Amino acid sequence: MAESARPLKFTTRAVIAGRPAAGPDAPLNTPLVLASTYGSFGELEYGRYGNPTWTAFETALGDLEGGACVSFASGMAAIAAVLDLVPTGGTVVAPRHSYTGTVGRLRELEERGLLRTVWVDITDTAAVVEAARGASLVWLESPTNPALEVADIPAIVRGAHAVDALVAVDNTFATPLLQRPLEHGADLVVHAVTKYLAGHSDLLMGAVVTGDAALAERVTRSRTLGGAIPSAFEAYLALRGLRTLAVRLERAQATAQRLVRALEGHAGVAETRYPGFGAIVSIVLKDAAAADALVRGVRLWRAATSLGGVESTLERRRRWSGEAPTIPEGLVRLSVGLEDPEDLWDDLAQALP
């Protein structure tokens, strides 16, 4: 039978990318390779340089994002590797509302005199492009964590590239199912694989994807010399989770949209923030006390700081000292999982003020 000329759909690629070649007795999944040392004169040599299980995951995620993938021990390790691209004394433009780990790393590097950070409202495209003048890197989150603001990625990329700044996009919330920044001209994409890609709250891992071979080499060198390598077991689990990303996120997104409609009509909710896609929703209650009461009052939702798993979680974000002061005290971030939508709403409704 002749092969189809039509490109394979995303959901199909998520299932097949990175699998071993088909053949008699060939495994359907890449085996877990537990080795620190390999025979000399090959491509691997030593476990800090590579692992076949990493390679399978990197092949799959690279295919989905459209570039070369380098995996890391955590999302923070991936973030650190990208920030290592900034020359000493360089400037980074970053959203004022960003993942607290990113904010903390930028502040720490600034305190050491290694770089300068310009904080921007990521929804003000003109201001972001203006701030990019003289910058080495524009860092984007879209949607932002936890404010759920959306950036105009193509416009910002065009403006940043016009002044020779690189653009990196944290795509953890959207995933390549909903958004592929490299297709819009971004130079690098960052993932906390721990979240939606792996999807089961059972591992720590990160990744950087780029379409630029020179950047891929520099990011790989940062991993090799810094030693922030993922374990083979984490890579194995992450690839298994990636296989079901499409069905998990489609279900969670549909539930999130149902919950948003209910939350927008609830008297106890002052504001509902939802960008129109994805499975993260932020709501603002009247104050910190009301938000804390909601978090403690739910029975099915789990109070937890991470997100993107099959279970639904929620958290009042200002309980963390590193959260931006412009995030309301009463903001609660919801990560919608795979439970029945009616059960999730009933639990929220009985705990809302």
Known catalytic residue: 333? no
Give the residue-averaged pLDDT of 34-54: 95
* In the chain, beta strands by DSSP E: 68-72, 90-95, 115-120, 137-141, 166-170, 188-192, 206-210, 271-273, 280-284, 302-303, 313-316, 331-335
Confidence at residue 263, expressed as pLDDT on a 0 to 100 scale: 98
Rounded CA gap, 53 and 14, in Å?
A: 16
- 78, 81, 220, 291, 305 from 227: Cα distances, Å: 12, 11, 10, 40, 26
- 192, 200, 226, 248, 311 from 169: Cα distances, Å: 12, 23, 22, 22, 26
**Fold (CATH) for 10-242:** Aspartate Aminotransferase; domain 2 (3.40.640)
Annotated catalytic residue: which of 152, 170, 273, 333?
170
Rounded CA gap, 147 and 170, in Å?
A: 14
Pairing of strands 331-335, 280-284: antiparallel
Annotated catalytic residue: which of 13, 19, 48, 96?
48
Confidence at residue 68, expressed as pLDDT on a 0 to 100 scale: 98
Question: Which regions of the chain carry the CATH code 3.90.1150.10?
Answer: 245-351
* pLDDT tens digits for range 192-227: 999 999 999 999 999 999 999 999 999 999 999 999
Known catalytic residue: 99? yes
Q: Is the pLDDT of residue 64 over 70?
A: yes
When pLDDT is cut at 50, 70 and 90, the band that residue 135 belongs to is very high
Say how many Å lie between the first and final Cα of the chain, rounded: 62
Confidence at residue 1, expressed as pLDDT on a 0 to 100 scale: 40
Q: Are 159 and 129 in contact (CB under 8 A)?
A: yes
Name the average pLDDT for the chain. Answer: 96
Give the residue-averaged pLDDT of 47-55: 96
Residue 351 corresponds to which amino acid? A
pTM of the model: 0.95
Q: Is the pLDDT of residue 164 over 90?
A: yes
Residue 143: asked if its preceding bond is cis (omega within 30°), the reply is yes
Rounded CA gap, 256 and 251, in Å?
A: 9
Q: Are 350 and 262 in contact (CB under 8 A)?
A: no
Q: What are the residues whose beta carbons fall under 8 Å from the beta carbon of 271, sequence distance 6 or more?
A: 283, 284, 328
Q: Is the pLDDT of residue 175 over 60?
A: yes
Give the residue-averaged pLDDT of 274-289: 98
% of the chain surpassing 70 pLDDT: 99
Confidence at residue 5, expressed as pLDDT on a 0 to 100 scale: 77
Tokens of 157: 């990329």
Q: What are the residues whose beta carbons fall under 8 Å from the beta carbon of 231, sequence distance 6 or more?
A: 73
Q: Does domain 245-351 match CATH 3.90.1150.10?
A: yes
Give the residue-averaged pLDDT of 267-290: 98
Q: Is the pLDDT of residue 275 over 80?
A: yes
- Sign, CA dihedral 55-57-58-60, equals positive
Q: Are 285 and 274 in contact (CB under 8 A)?
A: no
Give the residue-averaged pLDDT of 293-316: 98
Q: Are 159 and 128 in contact (CB under 8 A)?
A: yes
Annotated catalytic residue: which of 63, 152, 195, 196?
195
Helix-then-strand count for the chain, H and E: 12, 12
Annotated catalytic residue: which of 99, 196, 236, 274?
99
- Sign, CA dihedral 95-101-104-105, equals negative
Rounded CA gap, 178 and 347, in Å?
A: 28
